[in-house]
Amino acid sequence: MRALIALTLGEPFGEHLAPTRAAHAALELIGSPLTVKGELIAWEGVAEARALAGITDVELYAQPGDLVRPHDQSGHKIGLVVAAGATAADASAALDAATALIRPVIRPTEEDSVNSPRPAVRRNASPYLYGGEAAAVAQVLESGQYGHSDVTEKFEREVAAYLDVPEVVAVESGTAALHMALLAAGIGNGDEVVVPSLTFAASVQAIVAVGARPRFAEIDPDTLCVTGASVLEALTPDTRAVMPVLYGGRAVDLTDVAPVLAGRGITVVEDAAQAFGSWHGDRKVGAFGASGTLTCFSFGPIKNLTCGQGGAVVPRTAQEAETIRLLRMLGIRQSQADRIRSTTYSVDTFGLRYPLSALNAAIGLTQLARFEEIEAKRPHLWRTYRDALAGIDGVALVDVDVERSVPFNCVVRVPNRDPVFADLQSRGIGAGVHYPPNHLQAAFAPWHRPLPVTEQTAEEIMSLPFHPAMTEQDVGAVVDALRKAVAP
Ligand SMILES: Cc1ncc(COP(=O)(O)O)c(C=O)c1O
């Protein structure tokens, strides 16, 4: 017998359905796009949905230009999907797959238009804009000063004030920040730098870029970060630096091994790309220069604070700040303003060209002025996930120390990860994996060593969609899909 299921986009449509199915389906179909009221700009995913096996009809009642509004009980509907299958479960599965693909693109008529169309659950991560960024960039464009400028220096001062540190040196990316910090710490040929394998390739490439060797360290399976013990285990006579990675935004506490590291002349260069705004005890991450830690941030597109592209090093001393400023500007000491008034300039040392453009700094300044919204939104989103995930068998949330962190992501461990990942993707949920381990990458093969905890972890971790434009309903939609994916 063939079962036929019809669902209405935009209202619970129960006449030809079992009542419970109708109620659930209506929620699935509405999805997050219809949490806003606005003008329908376009439909996405309709052709793909129509092409799915089991889908017999997709009708679009609302057309581009129509005003649409959030689902309510008054019968406001914008479309219909009909699926048929050998069983109700087959038809239902086809329906789920189709409705995960179909997305009405809506230009909101209500306040939140900056983030329109809502990236919601399809995106694993997404930049978050407050609204002033475009005007700030336009102002710099009109000024004609696009390189390092007083806008960049204002950004440096404001980041320093936010962190409560004397100085910050802005550079063009988080990778550049790591590269500069290692150079400033005197790391080079023949040296070894301890780094977790479970990090973005950028951490490792920065080590290789200075001519040093990465020495991969194990992680704690609960935090996905190195520990004092795993760092000690990885040390060799050649170790000159340790690069803890603040995975997901949580601080890494190495105070228990600090005396050993200091005694051996080993510098701690923190990769805090994901941890802008997080706390370590009663100070912000980045405020530990006095205890010998060099901290590097990324202000890349999806980071807690974005410059579009950007990064920063928090130097330990004024002299180190000066060294990094020279390094980031080709070793030239004179400012741009001084250079244009002179017939010459002096190249004092080796250097690279890594300045933060004023265009990017302008975005960062706009973001920093409203960063307290992110300091509230990201932990709230993470807690919403934590509550929604509680009790799903086979899914373990990786803790991010949310009381002290501005979480960068939401990572779960799922034993049979790959099919679950594929299932979520097929439902239109932007699951991700951060990261495939570096010690298994071809480029880093010379430094491979067995890391069983990392290898097992890397097969199980999955990052759920996580960005500040997501709503509690979006989290609910992701978790519902995950529940189905782990127990199909
Ligand atoms: C852990 C980690 N390290 C380094 C980087 C490099 O930062 P960027 O992309 O700004 O170069 C990133 C971000 O991409 C990161 O997540």
**In the chain, domain spans:** 1-118, 133-369
329 C-alpha vs ligand 1 centroid, how far in Å?
21
Which CATH number does 1-118 carry?
Answer: 3.90.600
Report the pLDDT value the prediction gives residue 88, as an integer from 0 to 100.
79
Report the pLDDT value the prediction gives residue 64, as an integer from 0 to 100.
81
Residue ranges of E strands in 263-394: 267-271, 279-280, 283-284, 293-298, 311-314
Query: Is 284 part of the annotated catalytic residue set?
Result: no
Catalytic residue among 284, 303, 377, 484: 303
Report the pLDDT value the prediction gives residue 71, as an integer from 0 to 100.
53
Enumerate residue ranges in the chain where pLDDT < 70: 1-37, 70-77, 108-119
User: pTM of this prediction?
Assistant: 0.78
Report the pLDDT value the prediction gives residue 292, as an integer from 0 to 100.
93
Query: Tell me: the pLDDT tens digits for 3-58?
Result: 344 444 433 333 444 433 433 333 334 333 455 667 777 888 899 899 999 898 88
- Kindly state if the Cβ of 203 falls inside 6 Å of ligand 1: yes
Substitution site in 172, 173, 175, 356 for ligand 1 pocket (most atoms within 8 Å of beta carbon):
175
Residues 6+ apart with CB under 8 A from 463: 124, 125, 409, 410, 411, 431, 432, 433, 434
Report the pLDDT value the prediction gives residue 290, as an integer from 0 to 100.
86
Report the pLDDT value the prediction gives residue 42, as an integer from 0 to 100.
84
Residue 232 CB burial class (10 angstroms; 0-12, 13-18, ≥19) = middle
- Kindly state if the Cβ of 174 falls inside 6 Å of ligand 1: yes
Report the pLDDT value the prediction gives residue 79, as an integer from 0 to 100.
79
202 C-alpha vs ligand 1 centroid, how far in Å?
6
3-state class (DSSP) for residue 278 = coil
Contact 295, 251 (CB under 8 A): no
Residues 6+ apart with CB under 8 A from 134: none
Report the pLDDT value the prediction gives residue 70, as an integer from 0 to 100.
61
Report the pLDDT value the prediction gives residue 87, as an integer from 0 to 100.
82
CATH of the domain spanning 133-369, picked from 3.40.50.1100, 3.40.50.300, 3.40.640.10, 3.90.226.30: 3.40.640.10
Q: Partners of 410 in the beta sheet?
A: 464
